[in-house]
Amino acid sequence: MYTLDKIPFFQEIEGSNNILLAGMGGGFDIYAAIPLYFSLIKQGKKVTIANYSFTRLNDTSSESVFPFCYKISPGDQIYAFPRYFPEKYLKLWFHLQGILVDIYAFERTAVQPLKDAYQFLVDKHEIDTVILVDGGTDCLMFGDEEGLGTPQEDICSMAAVFQTKVDKKLLLSVGFGVDHYHGVSHYRFLENLAELDREQAYLGSFQVLNSMTEGQKYKEAIDFVDSKMKGMESIVSNSIISALEGNYGDYHRTSRTKGSELWINPLMTIYWSFKLENVMKKNTYYEYIKNTNTVGEFRAKLADYRRTLVDYREKRQIPI
């Protein structure tokens, strides 16, 4: 039984010892997990990091440890353009602070190869808990909404971990409001959250603040990677950091968003937490994509499903 003085998410992992903390949506998602990493370490947990990558990992010097899975080192090189490699700079940032942490990156692939790669890491590091982190809220779209955002990477990661043999599987979403740009209805996000809450699958929310050490570490990491990847900065994490710093409205921390209208807001720094199994059981196209092996196959299967829909849950604005 949960109690008011404790966040259910942290009650869920009280008995966890070896945690795999994974960015699920590609690119910089793992950076959104940095505050949680430092919190978990403070709690005495052993943490391994992984990220679904947009980098062409076979064009890097990173060590291939399993099909579609690479171990990242601070000195890894990328041999192709663009020089996009957020995982390498995260490893370098930790290295410069004298922090030893294993970081892995998954090649961009579909559910079955990704499931095998997750299982490899679970077995290798004796993982008892996998925590997936999404920078954004489209991970909570069930599939019958008018706008799904960019579901491919999120759902591949979620479906892969759903099929992985591990004791606990949890999901975190941070960055409320940032997915409006991708056509996500936050009205539908809250509607889906309420449905999961009725099943006791919503594990509460917690917020990172600028006054917290964990918040400062997140900011430091984003400033570091921004300095290394100019012109390719994370829109999501820079939006969250903007909110963390107390900015509001149409504020632009990076030139990448110039020309668009942003809604930087205090809700962006809230982490919403869920039991992954329940979220996946609500996904209306899981049966279509659960056995996919390539990105192209995933896209085709999702398109097949969407063609079967007679009615969408249309986009709606929050009525406040």
Supply the Cα-derived Rg of the chain in whole angstroms: 18
CA distance 48 to 86: 16
pTM over 0.95: yes
In the chain, what are the helix, strand and coil shares in percent, each to the nearest 5?
Answer: 45, 20, 40
In which order are the strands placed within the sheet that holds 69-71?
A: 63-66, 69-71, 103-106, 46-52, 18-23, 129-135, 168-174, 270-275, 202-207
pLDDT of residue 174: 97
pLDDT of residue 1: 80
pLDDT of residue 156: 97
pLDDT of residue 24: 96
pLDDT of residue 258: 86
| DSSP H helical ranges for 33-107 | 34-42, 86-96
Angle at 92 between CA 114 and CA 255, to 5 degrees: 85
CB 87 within 8 Å of CB 30: yes
Residues of the chain with pLDDT under 70: none
pLDDT of residue 266: 97
- The tens digit of pLDDT for each residue in 10-69 reads 999 999 999 999 999 988 999 999 999 999 999 999 999 999 999 999 999 999 999 999
pLDDT of residue 320: 84
CA atoms within 13 A on the CB side of 291: 2
